[in-house]
């Protein structure tokens, strides 16, 4: 992202945001509620149109309005805080829908891939169930598996553990950790500071729509340059 600006009405929500994500990076976005983390992720996934600046992906300028947003989104997975799964479909059908419709896999191919990912993350017994029969942690793990089934080049995660009971957070984060260790490129908004510190290659502190400070977690969490970052960390740590 380079010089990205985004306003809602006269409220500037992203103000001259520039950020580079390299392959295998795990970038954690931290900052108070309302600082623009979700908007940044939604812009990356072309769910929001930006007012100024450029977003490029693999060398192509995807913020160009002529770009086919669906084809970009087929390479960039996004998982939200909650309510990700289609309630009327089984877990397996949730996981095979996009691979079949968007990526053209056969039902057999899509099912095989989905079942192997569901098994890897301990969800094989849930495949035939509808989402409302699963615990919150299982639902969010299934939502992650659904995103992984499309083999995204980039995975965006927006506070995916925020709506979970504390004892369910770990099982979801362990999938994110496994994906990070496997080399998945990710940008995630999180308020799990210990987790961010542990897995991030780089941490961005957002404040009122600006990236106020960015660096390796060892730097941001131990010796932040900006007073605002220090204040924020004092509050949340």
Residues that bind ligand ADP (CB under 6 A): 8, 13, 31, 33-39
CA dihedral 41, 217, 179, 4 (to 10 degrees): 20
Closest contact distance (angstroms) between CB of 212 and ligand ADP is 13
Residue with tokens 């100024």: 52
**∠ Cα 98 101 106 (to 5°):** 100
Neighbour count for residue 8 (Cβ, 10 Å): 10
Q: Specify the residue, 37 or 146, whose C-beta has the smaller distance to Mg ion.
A: 37
Residue 35's binding partner out of ligand ADP, Mg ion, none, with CB under 5 to 8 Å set by partner kind: ligand ADP
Residues that bind Mg ion (CB under 5 A): 37-38
Closest contact distance (angstroms) between CB of 158 and Mg ion is 6
151 is written with which tokens?
A: 């083999």
Closest contact distance (angstroms) between CB of 176 and ligand ADP is 18
Q: Specify the residue, 129 or 228, whose C-beta has the smaller distance to ligand ADP.
A: 228
Distances (CA, A) of 38 to 14, 66, 102, 123, 156: 10, 24, 25, 28, 10
Q: Specify the residue, 8 or 83, whose C-beta has the smaller distance to ligand ADP.
A: 8
Closest contact distance (angstroms) between CB of 156 and ligand ADP is 12
């Amino acid at each position: 992202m380079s010089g990205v600006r985004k306003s809602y009405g006269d409220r500037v929500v992203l103000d001259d945001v520039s950020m580079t994500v390299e392959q295998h990076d795990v970038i954690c976005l931290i900052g108070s509620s309302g600082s623009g983390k979700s908007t940044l992720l939604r812009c990356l996934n072309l769910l929001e149109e930006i007012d100024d600046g450029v977003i490029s992906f693999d060398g192509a300028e995807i913020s160009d309005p002529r770009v086919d947003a669906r084809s970009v989104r087929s390479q960039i997975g996004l998982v939200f805080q909650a309510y990700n799964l289609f309630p009327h479909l089984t877990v397996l059908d949730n996981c095979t829908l996009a691979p079949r419709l968007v990526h053209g896999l056969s039902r057999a191919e899509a099912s095989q891939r989905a079942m192997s990912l569901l098994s890897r993350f301990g969800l094989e017994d849930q495949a035939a169930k509808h989402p409302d029969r699963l615990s919150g942690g299982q639902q969010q793990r299934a939502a992650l598996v659904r995103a992984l089934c499309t083999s995204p080049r980039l995975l965006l995660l927006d506070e995916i553990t925020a709506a979970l009971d504390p004892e369910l957070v770990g099982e979801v984060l362990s999938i994110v950790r496994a994906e990070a260790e496997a080399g998945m490129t990710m940008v995630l908004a999180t308020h799990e500071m210990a987790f961010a510190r542990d897995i991030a290659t780089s941490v961005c502190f957002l404040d009122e729509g600006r990236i106020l400070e960015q660096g390796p977690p060892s730097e941001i969490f131990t010796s932040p340059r900006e007073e605002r970052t220090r204040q924020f960390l004092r509050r949340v740590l």
